[in-house]
Amino acid sequence: MANQSQEIDQKKLDELQEKVVTDVAGAMGLIMAYMGDRLNLYSALAEIGPATSAALAKSTGLAERYVHEWLSANAAGGYIEHDAASAKFSMTPEQVVTFASEGHPNCMQGFFQAVVSTYIDEPKVTEVFRSGKGLPWSDHNGCLFCGTERFFRPMYAASLVDAWIPALDGVRDKLASGAKVADIGCGHGSSTIIMAKAFPKSSFYGFDFHEPSIEHARSRAKDAGVESNTLFEVVTAKEFPGSGYDLVTIFDALHDMGDPVGAAAHVCNSLAAGGTFMVVEPLAGDTLDENRHPLGQIYYSFSTMICTPASKAQEVGLALGAQAGQKRLTEVLNKAGFTKVRRAAETPTNMVLEARA
């Protein structure tokens, strides 16, 4: 309360208030976008637009008054277009990609879905602040599992085979000729399946401790036609079976683990001579000041709601967080037995580390 007695800089207050209003507008825009996805409003508008609210309501079988208000909110936020003369709404190609192009790496609907899950789980996370305990991945709302897979899958599809694997020393040739690969923390199996389709001569083993995710991965593998060179199993990162792996991967999951050092040590022991450990993690600098930007805020927030509680719910509970940075991750990998760690590639949102014993 002491700060209230200090003189307020009106200019700074106005700037902060403007930022807060912008953030609140974004938060409301996000929930509108999430609802538009669930109700197929964006895809319908992209198909029939320009259209009036009445035409869109008829096309989707929804109540016109609600559709009109939703359209107005989206137009006010710049998510869709509005022509005052005709009272019709439409979408630009860029808006279609962002809101209605499932599978496109720039479609944000999976991102929105994951964010909504954190709002649903807020009471659970608030409680762990008080108790100091963790919140297991399995205790989160189902929107998180689907949203996470939906958000990451297009990015993996765009980068994994064409950019990330070629950036690793000699790995692409091994996969092309036939290699043994373990994908740890595979979730719904997107990364495993993408690699299995690209390298049919190699064998891929997807491991995750969340049984519903593994069941989903098996179904996805069947649909993708890669059952013959994939195997999915429910097991922890420190206990996955097998040895002689030419490549072991962990995509956006090492920081979620309770004992990332132990998990990485198990990876180190499971590799074949000359094997490679590929770790994909959120892009981050090594200090908070380096991460003070919108993407850093997003990652720290997800880490507060999901990653840190998930780690704290497991043994050790190291709680690296989603913005651990390359220096801290390298320390973990060094402790696990990896003597050579380098950044092989990066995107605007991820870094790819190559580790060797």
Q: Is the pLDDT of residue 320 over 60?
A: yes
| 3-state SS class at 173 | helix
How far apart are alpha carbons 238 and 111 in whole angstroms? Answer: 29
Q: How far apart are the first and last CA of the chain?
A: 53
Report yes or no: 238 and 248 within 8 Å, Cβ to Cβ: no
The residue ranking higher by pLDDT, 151 or 228, is 228
How far apart are alpha carbons 187 and 214 in whole angstroms? Answer: 6
What's the pLDDT tens digit per position in 14-50? Answer: 999 999 999 999 999 999 999 999 999 999 999 999 9
**Cβ-based neighbours of 56, under 8 Å, separated by 6 or more:** 41, 44, 45, 48, 49, 62, 67, 71, 89
For residue 311, what pLDDT is reported?
97
Rg (CA), the chain: 23
**Cβ-based neighbours of 122, under 8 Å, separated by 6 or more:** 305
For residue 143, what pLDDT is reported?
84
For residue 145, what pLDDT is reported?
85
How far apart are alpha carbons 144 and 154 in whole angstroms? Answer: 16
Task: Categorize the per-residue pLDDT at 5 as very low, low, confident or very high, splitting at 50, 70 and 90.
Answer: low
For residue 161, what pLDDT is reported?
97
Report yes or no: 356 and 340 within 8 Å, Cβ to Cβ: yes
- What is the mean predicted confidence (pLDDT) over 170-197? 97
- Quickly count: other Cβ atoms within 10 Å of residue 108's Cβ: 17
Tell me the residue type at 303.
S
- What is the mean predicted confidence (pLDDT) over 148-158? 90
Q: Is the pTM of this model over 0.85?
A: yes
- What is the mean predicted confidence (pLDDT) over 98-116? 94
Structure tokens at 124: 């659970």
Task: Categorize the per-residue pLDDT at 182 as very low, low, confident or very high, splitting at 50, 70 and 90.
Answer: very high
- Quickly count: other Cβ atoms within 10 Å of residue 36's Cβ: 25
What's the pLDDT tens digit per position in 79-88? Answer: 999 999 999 9
Domain ranges of the chain: 2-101, 152-356
For residue 122, what pLDDT is reported?
96
* CB-based burial label for 201 (10 Å; 0-12, 13-18, 19+): exposed
What's the pLDDT tens digit per position in 230-240? Answer: 999 999 999 99
Nearest to 253 by CA among 241, 243, 267: 267
Are β-strands 350-356 and 203-208 bridged in parallel, bridged antiparallel, or unpaired? unpaired
For residue 109, what pLDDT is reported?
95
Question: At residue 127, what are phi and psi to the nearest 5 degrees?
Answer: -65, -35
Structure tokens at 348: 């605007």
Q: Is the pLDDT of residue 162 over 80?
A: yes
What kind and span of H or E run contains 75?
helix 64-76
Nearest to 306 by CA among 354, 259, 356, 252: 252
Q: Is the pLDDT of residue 257 over 60?
A: yes
Nearest to 274 by CA among 178, 356, 330: 356
Residue 100: CA atoms inside 13 Å, Cβ hemisphere, count?
A: 21
Lowest mean pLDDT among 57-61, 110-114, 336-340: 110-114
The class level of CATH for 2-101 reads mainly alpha
Name the CATH superfamily housing domain 152-356. Vaccinia Virus protein VP39 (3.40.50.150)
What letters, b where the CB count within 10 A reaches 16 and e where it falls short, cover 313-338?
A: bbeebbbbbbbbbbeebbebbeebbb
Q: Is the pLDDT of residue 112 over 90?
A: yes
For residue 151, what pLDDT is reported?
86
How far apart are alpha carbons 222 and 188 in whole angstroms? Answer: 12
For residue 3, what pLDDT is reported?
59
Share of the chain above pLDDT 70, in %: 99
Report yes or no: 183 and 204 within 8 Å, Cβ to Cβ: yes
